[in-house]
């Protein structure tokens, strides 16, 4: 009798396992995305520390140096000399993006405007490699030199400016800042199709700077993100480059800010880490892990997402991603004097909260700020 129950249970267990594994396999086919997210979340919450990464990505100083061996073709060493810089803003640009740089200089990256209207010193540089196509490279390079003669804000190193070289661009930023702008209170890295609400950002950073923040790293945080193993994805990660089922926490590369002590730590981390992992924001996460600094979420920093267009949002927003054509328009409406204080008073507050709830708290709101931004 006893044996029979055991046998029965055993069979049950086996068949359950069979059903389960069949389900797992099918499920994985049906929705790989959900499974890998579930797996990576649980991984993150069970492991909860990525100490092994430091060891796994450590290389000798000579080997680490080889990743930042590229000479400067265009450089400016005196950008930060002689003034108290609140923020050095490194815009990740590409040689051919002339128009985007012009739009930025005329809007949120206008140093004269920031100085006059906001009363602080913010420095903007555009960082890049060389154009990837050797047929047009010389011509584009000449145009770049001309552009730089007028504006003096380009910093270029001699590596190919491609998506898979973005980590080299990250090294460029932190190494350049370390040599030429180590005294800026904050360092920001941003894409050239980003919109930054500069008055809001400056206000926020001034407050933080008064509190003498340390270990400050803020942006749109990815927690427990899974490496993407589909070969057709832009973010494909080969197994031998990253073996684990989730990345350490990192901020979206679209735009993030660190305090100067963190910038110095990142610089030092890059001197001992293998920088061949080509997703730059993940590499930043690995640096953060090595330094023991973790990123903080700010609901009005966007990752992939674009802002919704409304004064109640403009009043709070920091960054918004994916702006190619409408940077000038958005700058105009978002910094309109009537926006400021729109949510002041009880009525204003009620009105704006209601508006933001209707705009942000939708079931499929994946491309903007999260619902909880409505209440902050």
Ligand X SMILES: *[C@@H]1O[C@H](CO)[C@@H](O)[C@H](O)[C@H]1NC(C)=O
CA 75/CA 96 separation, integer angstroms: 18
Alpha-helix runs per DSSP H in 211-279: 260-270
107-166: contacts with ligand X (CB under 6 A):
110, 112-113, 116, 159-160, 162, 164-165
Using CB under 6 A, which of 24, 34, 106, 354 touches ligand X? 106
The closest of 227, 205, 226 to 216, measured between CA atoms, is 205
* CA separation for the pair 57, 243 (Å, rounded): 12
Residue 190 dihedral angles phi and psi, to the nearest 5°: -150, 155
Q: Output 129 or 226, the one with its CB closest to ligand X.
A: 129
For position 235 contacting ligand X by CB under 6 A, the verdict is no
Q: How many angstroms separate the CA atoms of 213 and 228, rounded?
A: 35
Contact range with ligand X by CB under 6 A, out of 15-23, 225-233, 272-280, 314-322: 272-280
In the complex, minimum distance from the CB of residue 240 to ligand X, in angstroms, rounded to a whole number: 6
Q: Does 261 bind ligand X (CB under 6 A)?
A: no
Contact 94, 161 (CB under 8 A): yes
| Alpha carbons 136 and 216: distance in angstroms, whole number | 41
Does 294 interact with ligand X (rule: CB under 6 A)? no
> Which of residues 56, 206, 245, 276 is near ligand X by CB under 6 A?
276
DSSP 89: E
Question: Cβ of residue 239: shortest distance to ligand X, in angstroms?
Answer: 10
Least distance to ligand X from the beta carbon of 230, Å? 19
At a CB cut-off of 8 Å and minimum separation 6, what does 177 contact?
A: 88, 90, 184, 187, 263, 267
Q: How big is the site for ligand X, counted in residues (CB under 6 A)?
A: 22
Nearest distance from C-beta of residue 292 to ligand X, angstroms? 5
Does 358 interact with ligand X (rule: CB under 6 A)? no
> Which C-beta is closer to ligand X: that of 232 or that of 240?
240
Nearest 5°: CA angle at 158, between 232 and 140?
A: 85
List 59, 118, 264, 333, residue binding ligand X (CB under 6 A) = 59
Q: Is residue 367 close enough to count as binding ligand X by CB under 6 A?
A: no
Query: Which of 123, 149, 124, 136 lies closest to 95 in space, CA to CA?
Result: 136
365 binds ligand X (CB under 6 A): no
**Which residues sit at the interface with ligand X, rule CB under 6 A?**
54, 58-59, 63, 105-106, 110, 112-113, 116, 159-160, 162, 164-165, 240-241, 272, 274, 276, 290, 292
């Amino acid at each position: 009798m006893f044996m029979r129950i055991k046998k029965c249970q055993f069979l049950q267990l086996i068949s359950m396992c069979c059903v389960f594994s069949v389900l797992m396999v099918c499920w994985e086919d049906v929705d790989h995305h959900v499974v890998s997210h579930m797996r990576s979340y649980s991984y993150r919450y069970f492991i909860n520390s990525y100490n092994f990464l430091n060891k796994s990505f450590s290389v000798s100083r000579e080997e680490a140096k080889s990743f930042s061996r590229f000479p400067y073709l265009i450089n400016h060493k005196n950008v930060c000399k002689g003034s108290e810089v609140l923020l050095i803003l490194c815009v990740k640009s590409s040689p051919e993006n002339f128009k985007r740089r012009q739009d930025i200089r005329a809007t949120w990256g206008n140093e004269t405007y920031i100085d006059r209207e906001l009363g602080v010193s913010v420095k903007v540089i555009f960082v890049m490699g060389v154009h990837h196509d050797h047929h047009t490279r010389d011509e584009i390079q000449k145009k770049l030199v001309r552009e730089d003669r007028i504006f003096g804000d380009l910093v270029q190193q001699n590596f190919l400016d491609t998506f898979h070289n973005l980590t080299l661009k990250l090294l460029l930023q932190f190494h350049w800042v370390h040599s030429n702008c180590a005294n800026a209170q904050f360092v920001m890295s941003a894409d050239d199709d980003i919109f930054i609400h500069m008055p809001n950002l400056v206000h926020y950073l001034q407050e933080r700077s008064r509190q003498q923040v340390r270990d400050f790293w803020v942006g749109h945080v990815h927690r427990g993100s899974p490496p993407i193993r589909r070969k057709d994805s832009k973010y494909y990660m080969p197994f031998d480059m990253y073996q684990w089922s989730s990345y350490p926490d990192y901020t979206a590369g679209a735009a993030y800010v660190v305090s100067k002590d963190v910038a110095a730590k990142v610089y030092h981390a890059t001197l001992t880490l293998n920088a061949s992992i080509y997703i730059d924001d993940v590499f930043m996460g690995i640096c953060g892990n090595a330094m023991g600094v973790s990123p903080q979420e700010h609901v009005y920093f966007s990752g992939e997402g674009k802002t919704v267009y409304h004064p109640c949002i403009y009043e709070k927003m920091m960054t918004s991603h994916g702006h190619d054509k409408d940077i000038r328009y958005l700058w105009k409406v978002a910094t309109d004097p009537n926006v400021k204080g729109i949510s002041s008073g009880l009525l204003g507050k009620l009105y704006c909260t209601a508006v933001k709830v209707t705009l942000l708290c939708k079931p499929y709101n994946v491309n903007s700020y999260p619902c909880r931004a409505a209440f902050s």
